Structure 1
Amino acid sequence: MNTRALRITLVIETAPAQMGGEAHTLAQLSEGLRRRGHRVEIVRTRHCDEAMRAGPELLLCRSWRLPGYPALQWGAVSMHTLTRRWRRQRPDVLYIATEGPLGLSALRAARRLGIAVVSGYHANVPRVCDQLRLGALVRVLTHYLRWFHRRSAATLVPSVSLSLALQRRGFEHVSVLDRGVDAQLFNPSRRSQALRERWGLGAKDIAVLHVGRLLPEKNLALLAPCWHALQHQSAQRRLRLVIVGDGSYRATLQRQLPDALFCGAQTGEALAEHYASGDLFLFPSLHETFGNVVLEAMASGLAVVAYDQAAAAQHVSPGHSGALAMPGDHRAFIEAACWLLEDSETLRRVRLNARQHASRQSWPAVVEQFESYLLAACHQSARAPLAAGAALAIKPGSPTPRG
């Protein structure tokens, strides 16, 4: 049990409707913290169909999308609005998950009020800049992010590789906060033969899945050559490519893959059923800082093919619970996928091992670790005024007080 109930504010520039990795993770953390007895306030952007509103546990802010990059949403709220709100009901600690205008306003208000701050680093800045053709801004943005995160007690990242990369760039107080998976929701028991029949598959046929937002930066152009290679290798077996998700790249994929089945965005039990009804999971992304879908697919009993980075590097044991390729080696990625379909016994064994590993990655353990970072930040913040007071009481050059 925690030693102290906290009043915690979580700040993120993503609405639940986007439900990318950051929003999904924050939803799990907030619910877990509430179960552990903490008071949790959410400050986030609103979705287009949500009304502006504020209450003791939720503050919705205006938002806009970055031109040319619709997946990125920024929030707008003044520092003075947050300062007034937090003077009336002061949080013990803030967790700022994003570094945009909303995150910056929250950071400035927290520093003005002396509130402890923990931050999260999720964005792959060089990749985003490449996508926007703003490579010249990488140095400027890296400098800003380093400045931002130095003003928090700890910067939490989802993988060891990202932690090392940030430390090489001069980031300080970087710690890893892993990700969990709901192994009861994402479970092989949700496999649906009725759904597979709608996909045109029998019990022994193979469903090849991809789940995620369909965006150009996700390296989805690799799906077409990989799918064609799988079809060529498995000409005697019935295969079906099933793509779950939506986004600006969907129309391009539909032209490249006219025989694929596009199911749109799915959530909750419907998403879990889609996962469990598949067999092989293709995850070609090259710039994820984690990739929650990897753990969800493994928990659902799928054999994952991915690049050796982020979540896949941490959770996939090559040849045992999945197949990995060196980042950027497209041919090796395709060969890894084909290897998994060479032999039905290999595929069965890998799927069982994937489920066994993922079922041990629980959210409660992650929430407890997150709680420990927040408590440590509070203790550090409480000690700081005492140290500052002692420094003021005995100024350099003043006479030493006598007993």
Structure 2
Amino acid sequence: MNTPALRITLVSETFPPEINGVANTLGRLSDGLRQRGHRVEIVRPRQPGEKPFKDDQDLLLCRGWGLPGYPGLQWGEVSMHKLLRRWRRHRPDVLYIATEGPLGLSALRAARRLGIAVVSGFHTNFPQYSGQYGLGLLARLLTHYLRWFHRRTATTLVPSQSQRLELQRRGFERLALMARGVDACLFNPCRRSPALRDSWGLGPNDIAVLHVGRLAAEKNLALLHPCFEALQKAYPQQRLRLVVVGDGPLRATLERQLPEAVFCGAQRGEVLAEHYACGDLFLFPSLTETFGNVVLEAMASGLAVVAYDEAAAAQHIRHGHSGALAMPADQAGFIDAACWLLEEQETLRRVRLNARQHASRQGWPAIVEQFETHLHDACLAMASGRQTASSSLAIKPGSSAPHG
């Protein structure tokens, strides 16, 4: 479907070159929208070390402050009045608000004041994160706030069916599914590097057990140690090496727990793709994902993924065919699934091939087109609402005007 060119504003506390799933998704969506002829404005915090420059029509930088315990992540802050002045001069047709912090709230209030259509995204499961940190009361308060926030937007886009069902149970409304894609040219088994594997101490027939992601408590990384130990015990004749790609507040703790593992730090672009392609088995123990982009990236790179049966894994992995799944929170089942993949060489080869074939069909262009449709529909609904309101206020022919 061809849609008219729109002026679209994306509001987010995180954006490339920051490394996380939200930033990656927004970078892909903004690039794709521009390629389809739309004008895209980005409203985000100034990133650490970023030089100040005069804002233009396509970029508004605001003040940000760091999140405690999360180096490199921050909240953004901008006054509603600044947004009102800007959008009165250069009015967007529609906003997409990706984060619900102070920046997103100011944007929502300004858009409602000006009658601009708003679509929101549920990218991060903050209530579950709070639960992981033992903040049960905060989790309940966050759920109330997020429900209030998203009810004030035309549509809330969620990345997985499991997330949609969870939010419906919590009273969220007007939810629409919009999955994620993967660049199967970038994330590709052909990037496998014998030199990189050699630097990990692995030969052609050895097994690299890979994990990629932010090293933080909500990612359930305590499971990496017992899972890798179980693999070593089950296959003592097989040379195995655990390789961890990423950074975060738990890195020092994990390095103490896993002294023989290789810690590669945060990687991006082609270097990240090379690290993926040098792996064989991918462990993804997280239970708090709204999607989990790394699952598709690992599959596209030809890895056999072990994950819990939810979010991206539930959507894209057929157990025993293109990966291995365990029931959520079943630690023993997760470990058994990992061990099963290494039982026979042919099993691992077949699963890796099937994973690559499936992921290679999950490109970004179709996701961008779906996103475009949601934004266009929100514009039409807003215009229809204004027209209805205008008609209801009009004086019908032959009727008398109200007095006073």
Cα drift, residue 295 of structure 1: 0.1
CA distance in 1, matches of 2:260, 2:393: 73
1:217 corresponds to which residue? 218
Share of identical aligned residues, percent? 72
1:195 corresponds to which residue? 196
TM-score, L = length of structure 1? 0.96
CA distance in 2, matches of 1:127, 1:244: 23
Judge conservation of contact 1:254–1:260 (CA < 8 Å) in 2. Answer: yes
2:6 corresponds to which residue? 6
CA distance in 1, matches of 2:70, 2:302: 33
The amino acid across from 1:23 in the alignment is A
Q: Secondary structure at the match of 2:334?
A: helix
Unaligned runs of 5+ in 1: none
Please list the CA deviations of residues 173-217 of structure 1 after superposition, one character each: whole Å capped at 9, or x if unmatched: 100110000000000111111111111111111111000011111
Matched, 1:323 2:310: no
CA distance in 2, matches of 1:131, 1:3: 42
Matched, 1:98 2:99: yes
Please list the CA deviations of residues 290-342 of structure 1 after superposition, one character each: whole Å capped at 9, or x if unmatched: 00000000000000000000000000100000000011111111110010011
Q: Secondary structure at the match of 1:163?
A: helix
1:25 corresponds to which residue? 25
Judge conservation of contact 2:64–2:77 (CA < 8 Å) in 1. Answer: yes
Unaligned runs of 5+ in 2: none
Q: Secondary structure at the match of 2:325?
A: strand
Judge conservation of contact 2:133–2:217 (CA < 8 Å) in 1. Answer: no
1:116 corresponds to which residue? 117
Cα drift, residue 17 of structure 1: 4.3
Judge conservation of contact 2:202–2:241 (CA < 8 Å) in 1. Answer: yes
Cα drift, residue 96 of structure 1: 0.2
1:381 corresponds to which residue? 382
Please list the CA deviations of residues 349-384 of structure 1 after superposition, one character each: whole Å capped at 9, or x if unmatched: 000000000000010000000000000001111111
Cα drift, residue 400 of structure 1: 11
Matched, 1:391 2:367: no
142-151 vs 350-359, which moves further: 142-151
CA distance in 2, matches of 1:45, 1:131: 27
Any residues of structure 2 matched to 1:76-95 within 5 Å, and which?
Answer: 76-95=77-96
Cα drift, residue 133 of structure 1: 3.2
Judge conservation of contact 1:2–1:36 (CA < 8 Å) in 2. Answer: no
Matched, 1:51 2:51: yes
Judge conservation of contact 1:52–1:61 (CA < 8 Å) in 2. Answer: no
Please list the CA deviations of residues 79-119 of structure 1 after superposition, one character each: whole Å capped at 9, or x if unmatched: 01111111111111000001100000000111111111000
1:235 corresponds to which residue? 236
Judge conservation of contact 1:285–1:307 (CA < 8 Å) in 2. Answer: yes
What value does the CA root-mean-square deviation take over the aligned residues? 1.6
The amino acid across from 2:268 in the alignment is T
1:177 corresponds to which residue? 178
CA distance in 2, matches of 1:15, 1:132: 25
1:284 corresponds to which residue? 285
Please list the CA deviations of residues 35-93 of structure 1 after superposition, one character each: whole Å capped at 9, or x if unmatched: 10001011111211013341121111111123345575211000011111111111110
231-240 vs 316-325, which moves further: 231-240
CA distance in 1, matches of 2:333, 2:308: 9
1:144 corresponds to which residue? 145
Q: Secondary structure at the match of 1:185?
A: coil
Judge conservation of contact 1:68–1:132 (CA < 8 Å) in 2. Answer: no
Any residues of structure 2 matched to 1:243-392 within 5 Å, and which?
Answer: 243-392=244-393
The amino acid across from 2:39 in the alignment is R
Please list the CA deviations of residues 378-402 of structure 1 after superposition, one character each: whole Å capped at 9, or x if unmatched: 111111111111222259xx7699x
Q: Secondary structure at the match of 1:55?
A: coil
1:38 corresponds to which residue? 38
Q: How many residues align?
A: 399
